[in-house]
Structure 1
Amino acid sequence: MNFYDLNRHGEIGANSIYLQIGPFNILVDAGLHPKKMGYDALPDFEPIEDVDLDLIILTHCHLDHLGALPVVSAHNPTTPVITTAPNEMLAPRMLRNSINVMKRQRQEHGISEYPLFLHRDVAQLSKQITVQRFERGEIYLKGKEQIEVILHPAGHVAGAAAVELVYKHRRIVFSGDVLFDAQRTLPGAHLPQGPVDTLFLETTRGAKGRESGRSRSTEVDRLIDKVGQILDRDGSCLIPVFALGRMQELFKIIYEARNFGRLPNSPIYAAGLGMDICNYFDKIRRRTQLIDFDASILEKMKVKPPEPKMRPGRDLAKKGIYLVSSGMMVEYTPSYNVAASLLPHSSNGICFVGYCDPDTPGGQLLQSKDEESYFFNALDYNAPIRASIDRFDLSGHADREELVEYAQTTDARAIVLTHGDQSAREWFKNELSKRMNHSVVLDPETLVCHKI
């Protein structure tokens, strides 16, 4: 087997792996890099420019895995795009939103190549999607050769799949993005067991382990207690969330906490793409029973949109819980604007519930929380830091120890490290080399053909 990592910048970003397995040309994911702009955000597709892809496989609908897929499908209009039923429903919605964002960025930043694809490309992609049920293998033929594709539930987010490829009794497994713990909206991962020939393993959380004595369940308890404290002191609580997955889980956490008397029935404000995704989750629940989210809880909790006009530094008159994107408090997003209003007032609080890249405003605020002020560059406003700032580990990714233990169960001949910053990959390489000294552990160089 030969493979190329097409993510030109490496680390976490425009995830895309090209495989040559026997006569089959297979692409797993095609994402956009969240910190790059224009063509630089795309994978480098040069190794597949003159290749007719036989199969394209989509693991899940976060844009770092999905966002460049219309570019690939436009050049391979007859190639099946294999994915799960939730992804079939979610992918077009996420991509249409991405087009709108790119059009706005074209105006704001003068990026002439935006949008990188159009609505007709999304429509073409939708025609190519081939839905597979979890843990039901499908055989694909090329001449006299055949390959089996099996999708396994990976947790992480609705529709997320690990991918197993079986070719001539050789098993190749892509973990995808994995969460073994159950979330309030969906069960945890159930990955293929060993023996496996080659394992492509995500390494997102390799740089740091979970703090001793803490689990996802204890972190949810800490979050509920903190939100309650903020509301008790007549403050507002901002919870920056990702629109896909995290917003829906937080709605369920708050709804259940209210029902058990752990939180008061204070107002909840939310808006944007995440609210639309709530309706998609409800449809997925009714059609597939693969997730547990009933959109009627929004009406029961009387969720309202936040006030349209906010001024930096002026506290919000409507007190309550603000559940808005982006999860990393990116500039120009609702969470960025709400934070600029809440931060100077000691009764308020900001609760981060997932990973924040250090280069994003959310990551910078977490690093600056013990300082006197934080500068909101997009608003030209220097805010005194008086609100409480806390982080809770509700990541959608498995702990590094869990992933190493899983890798050991596969007894893989070769392990390829993916989807992680360099320090995270180095930890995995060192740890796996010690515990699985019979295995080849590879941190692949990007855009280079590797044979394993």
Structure 2
Amino acid sequence: MKITDLNRESGIGSNSLLVEAGGYNFIVDAGLHPKLTGAAAMPDFEHIGDRNIDFVIVTHCHLDHIGALPVLLKRHPKARVLMSLPSQMLVERMLHNSCNVMKRQKEEKRIPEYPLFTHEEIEGISGRFEAMKYKQPLVLKKADEELTITLYQAGHVAGAGGFQIEHGGKTVFFTGDVLFDDQRVLNGARFPKARKFDAMVIETTRGETERPEGKTRESEVKRLLKLIGETIRGGGSVLIPVFALGRMQELLTLLNDARKDGRLPKCPVYGAGLGLDIADYFDHIAKRTQLISYTRKVTKELRLKRPPRKLTPGKEPGEPGVFVLSSGMLVERTPSYMVASTLLASTRNTICFVGYCDPDTPGGKLLDTKPGQTFLFDVLDYQCPVLAKVDRFEMSGHADREEILEFALAAEPKSIVLTHGDPGARDWFSQQLEAADHPVRVIDPEPLKAVEV
């Protein structure tokens, strides 16, 4: 089996792998790079050349994994598209939102090639999305050649899946983005245990992140709620930047539970955008699959408010409360970015990051700014001292590095391919795997260069 990383930037971005297994060619994910724009944000689909793509596997519906899917499918009109049922229910909504964002960016940033696809093209490919059930093998046959795909629940977000490929007497496991811990609205990964694989392809997102001793998801939730309560009682507001898919629904559920049992004082909770729309999708998924536990009841009980339409940097919103808004990395021109500009200059306010923040995003830069130093909201032409409390909580949607390492070593693969991680994260995994008790070939693939496993 040959694997080629089509993400020309490597790292975390336009995630897409070309896999060649005998007479089969398939693609794993087709994402857009969140820090790049235009054609540069896409995987290098030209590298596929004249290969016939038999199928595409979608591991989950974050845009760094599906954002270029319509472009890929337009180039390969006969390829099947396989994903979990929750992903099938979410994927169109995520792509339509991406199209809207690209249309806006075309005007704001003058990107001539945007949008990369249209709403009509999304509707045109929707009939090709095939839902797979977890743990139920799908056997493909071509002449006298067979390939078997088995999808496993991966935690992370609703619909996320890792999968194994059986072909030619060998078994290869792809983790995708994975979280082993149970969340409030979603169970953690249910990967096969005590199973040996010939090779594995693993995510390395948190390879550079060492979880402080004694910090668990439960203890971090408790610390978060305590800080929110202190801020609200002190007359301030709390901003929680979140990813629209998964993290927003998780936080809304936590806040609702805490308000009902008295751990939080009653106060306005603000929400807006794609994440609230996805909350309704979660309700449908919960009814059809019993894989998640989020319902519309949460948003109704919270009596969510919309943030004020007109916000002025440096001027706090009229009524203090808890703002649960995307983007999770405080990307420019998003609701969380705007609200942050109104809260940061007051000591009574708090900004709580609960997920991964790329160092080059405004969220990453804010986390790296010391109290009292000046922070620049570039697109707003506004700067202010960091007077609000800024804190980070270990509630990532990705598994700790030690958990992934333990899972990988237990399977005793001969080869492990590293993906979805910055250079330092991959280096940590390389060092740990090379020091393992049993020999394993560690492969950190260069973009567009095939590796054999």
Shift of 1:122: 1.3
Cα distance in 2, alignment partners of residues 144 and 19 from structure 1? 20
Cα distance in 2, alignment partners of residues 129 and 436 from structure 1? 42
Cα distance in 1, alignment partners of residues 437 and 180 from structure 2? 21
Cα distance in 1, alignment partners of residues 49 and 41 from structure 2? 17
Name the counterpart of 1:141.
141
| Contact kept in structure 2, 1:374 and 1:383, CA below 8 Å | yes
SS class of match (1:121): helix
Shift of 1:64: 0.7
SS class of match (1:368): coil
SS class of match (1:292): coil
Name the counterpart of 1:118.
118
Cα distance in 1, alignment partners of residues 126 and 31 from structure 2? 16
Cα distance in 2, alignment partners of residues 124 and 434 from structure 1? 49
2:412 is aligned with 1:411:
yes
What amino acid maps onto 2:14 in structure 1?
A: A
| Contact kept in structure 1, 2:240 and 2:325, CA below 8 Å | yes
| Contact kept in structure 2, 1:92 and 1:122, CA below 8 Å | yes
Shift of 1:247: 0.3
**CA deviation profile, 1:6-39 (whole Å, cap 9, x unmatched):** 0100011111111110110111111011111111
Q: Cα–Cα, structure 1 residues 87 and 81, in superposed 2: closer, same or farther, change >3 Å?
A: same
Cα distance in 2, alignment partners of residues 372 and 2 from structure 1? 49
2:92 is aligned with 1:92:
yes
Name the counterpart of 1:297.
298
Cα distance in 1, alignment partners of residues 317 and 407 from structure 2? 47
Name the counterpart of 1:362.
363
**CA deviation profile, 1:179-231 (whole Å, cap 9, x unmatched):** 00001111000113421011000000001211111011111111000000100
Cα distance in 2, alignment partners of residues 252 and 436 from structure 1? 43
Name the counterpart of 1:266.
267
What amino acid maps onto 1:330 in structure 2?
A: V
What amino acid maps onto 2:290 in structure 1?
A: Q
Name the counterpart of 2:388.
387
Shift of 1:78: 2.2
Cα distance in 2, alignment partners of residues 411 and 340 from structure 1? 50
Name the counterpart of 1:32.
32
Shift of 1:436: 4.7
What amino acid maps onto 1:237 in structure 2?
A: V
2:169 is aligned with 1:176:
no
Shift of 1:49: 2.8
Cα distance in 2, alignment partners of residues 83 and 295 from structure 1? 25
SS class of match (1:248): helix
2:51 is aligned with 1:51:
yes
Name the counterpart of 1:282.
283
Name which of structure 1's ranges 361-370 and 154-163 shifts more when overlaid on structure 2.
Answer: 361-370
| Contact kept in structure 2, 1:77 and 1:124, CA below 8 Å | no
Q: How many residues align?
A: 452
Name the counterpart of 1:420.
421
| Contact kept in structure 1, 2:371 and 2:385, CA below 8 Å | no
Shift of 1:449: 1.7
Name the counterpart of 1:314.
315
**CA deviation profile, 1:345-364 (whole Å, cap 9, x unmatched):** 11111111111111111111
Cα distance in 1, alignment partners of residues 356 and 168 from structure 2? 40
Cα distance in 2, alignment partners of residues 371 and 416 from structure 1? 43
TM-score by length of 1: 0.98
Shift of 1:386: 1.6
- The runs of 4+ residues in structure 1 deviating greater than 6 Å are none
Q: Which aligned pairs between 1:207-218 and structure 2 lie closer than 5 A?
A: 207-218=208-219
Cα distance in 2, alignment partners of residues 135 and 273 from structure 1? 30
| Contact kept in structure 2, 1:349 and 1:387, CA below 8 Å | yes
Shift of 1:373: 2.2
Cα distance in 1, alignment partners of residues 206 and 299 from structure 2? 32
Name the counterpart of 2:442.
441
SS class of match (1:435): coil
What amino acid maps onto 1:370 in structure 2?
A: P
Cα distance in 2, alignment partners of residues 47 and 356 from structure 1? 30
Cα distance in 2, alignment partners of residues 269 and 205 from structure 1? 30
Name which of structure 1's ranges 70-79 and 146-155 shifts more when overlaid on structure 2.
Answer: 70-79
Cα distance in 2, alignment partners of residues 392 and 222 from structure 1? 8
Task: Give the RMSD, CA atoms, in angstroms.
Answer: 1.0
Name the counterpart of 1:378.
379
Cα distance in 1, alignment partners of residues 122 and 164 from structure 2? 26
Cα distance in 1, alignment partners of residues 186 and 67 from structure 2? 23
Shift of 1:146: 1.1
What amino acid maps onto 1:345 in structure 2?
A: S
Q: Which aligned pairs between 1:49-88 and structure 2 lie closer than 5 A?
A: 49-88=49-88
Cα distance in 1, alignment partners of residues 241 and 339 from structure 2? 9
Q: Cα–Cα, structure 1 residues 416 and 436, in superposed 2: closer, same or farther, change >3 Å?
A: farther
Cα distance in 1, alignment partners of residues 400 and 387 from structure 2? 32
Cα distance in 2, alignment partners of residues 408 and 449 from structure 1? 24
Cα distance in 2, alignment partners of residues 187 and 154 from structure 1? 9
Name the counterpart of 1:432.
433
| Contact kept in structure 2, 1:164 and 1:192, CA below 8 Å | no
SS class of match (1:56): strand
Cα distance in 1, alignment partners of residues 131 and 125 from structure 2? 13
Shift of 1:437: 4.4
**CA deviation profile, 1:232-279 (whole Å, cap 9, x unmatched):** 101111111110000000001101111221001111011101110000
| Contact kept in structure 2, 1:77 and 1:128, CA below 8 Å | no
**CA deviation profile, 1:295-319 (whole Å, cap 9, x unmatched):** 1211111111011111111111111
Cα distance in 1, alignment partners of residues 373 and 3 from structure 2? 50
TM-score by length of 2: 0.98
Name which of structure 1's ranges 104-113 and 431-440 shifts more when overlaid on structure 2.
Answer: 431-440
Cα distance in 2, alignment partners of residues 186 and 156 from structure 1? 8
Cα distance in 2, alignment partners of residues 391 and 337 from structure 1? 19
What amino acid maps onto 1:63 in structure 2?
A: L
Q: Percent identity?
A: 48
Shift of 1:103: 0.8
Unaligned runs of 5+ in 1: none
Cα distance in 2, alignment partners of residues 208 and 310 from structure 1? 35
Cα distance in 1, alignment partners of residues 9 and 418 from structure 2? 15
SS class of match (1:416): strand
Name the counterpart of 2:256.
255
Name the counterpart of 1:18.
18
Name which of structure 1's ranges 73-82 and 365-374 shifts more when overlaid on structure 2.
Answer: 365-374
Shift of 1:121: 2.2
Q: Cα–Cα, structure 1 residues 339 and 94, in superposed 2: closer, same or farther, change >3 Å?
A: same
| Contact kept in structure 2, 1:316 and 1:341, CA below 8 Å | yes
| Contact kept in structure 1, 2:412 and 2:438, CA below 8 Å | no
